[in-house]
Chains A and B, each alone.
Chain A
Amino acid sequence: MADPLHQFKIETIVQGPVFEVGGVHVDLSLTNSVLAMLIAVGVTLLFFALTTARASIIPGRGQVVAESIFGLMDDLTDSIIGHEGRKFLPYVLTLFLFILSCNLVGMFTYFTATSQIAVTLTLAAMTILLVLGVGFIRNGLGFFKMFVPSGVPWYILLVLVPIEVIAFVMRPVTLTLRLFGNMLGGHIVMKVFAGFIVTGLAMGIGGYAIGALSLSTIVALTTLEFLVAYLQAFVFAVLTCVYLSDVVNIGHH
């Protein structure tokens, strides 16, 4: 039976220059992961270029979709971060669209870029570096007030502050692993059930029932995966907003 993990294998499509910088191995080849991301970005750009090129007062079908995606993220940043949320809208919207299109490319083609931990780690690191940067630039050393909840007696703070620090340090880890684990897990499950069809059919006439059951399960799982693809992109954007809101509104909660 085919290995359900084969789909996550990185393969070089076009060999690029390979060199070492300070002992770090750098390979600039075009891999299937890079290609999937390029397709995702290209499709997103094309979609928004086509739908908003001739924007009209009475929007067409495509324009409604584009505007509602934009409006969704605008509402999100505004409701979570507050009146300064619009400053962070470009970042959050880009992140949302990139993750969503990568997930959807994974659903329609065979390779999911967001099931690579390198990609999700990069996205999470970007978010957390932005949070740290915004936190230190806006508040200076007042950034550390984030770890000290107000109105708590000092002896409870002895326990609470380490917990808050650990929770903060775990944020990039959970951001990385949530997206990675969801996409990886979902695609493995689909391929495992696809394998059941083949094994079921190979068992002969009695296995046909197993095959039919597995096939209908895959149809249901595919629906679920489309939901997960959207939901994980949304959750990543929401959590980015929440983390940004923590440092933007530091003394307000």
Chain B
Amino acid sequence: MDTASATLIAGGLKYIGAGLATLGMIGAGIGLGILFGNYYVGALRNPSAAKTQQTNLFIGMALTEALGIFAFVIALLILFNKPSL
């Protein structure tokens, strides 16, 4: 294989890599689903306590979401990294 086509293939594989990196968001999605689901279960059982736990909900949301954002940032890093060839 000559250098030109190898560079082309490498450029295309970069997009596959970026797509694979975003798979990390699956975990964050499941996590957020569990988090909010359980919050609503609790909130419907005891609506008077729901308001007081909203801050905790957002703390949990922020911590869970951060992991999904990491995957997104890694994808961006792969996508916009200048190849050092």
Residues of chain A whose beta carbon lies under 8 Å from any beta carbon of chain B: 76, 79-80, 174, 177-178, 180-182, 184-185, 231, 234-235, 238-239, 242
Contacts and interface: CB of A to CB of B under 8 A. Distances in A.
B58 A234 contact: yes
Contacts of A178: 62, 65-66, 69
A79 B55 CA distance: 10
B interface: dominant SS: helix
A80 B65 CA distance: 21
| Interface SS of A by simple majority | helix
Given A174-B69, A177-B66, A238-B59, 4 more contacts: A177-B73, A181-B73, A231-B58, A242-B59
B55 A238 contact: yes
Interface residues of B, number: 13
Interface of B: 55, 58-59, 61-63, 65-66, 69-70, 72-73, 76
B69 A235 contact: no
Nearest to B65: A178
Interface centre among B58, B59, B63, B66 (most CB of A within 10 A): B66
A178 B62 CA distance: 8
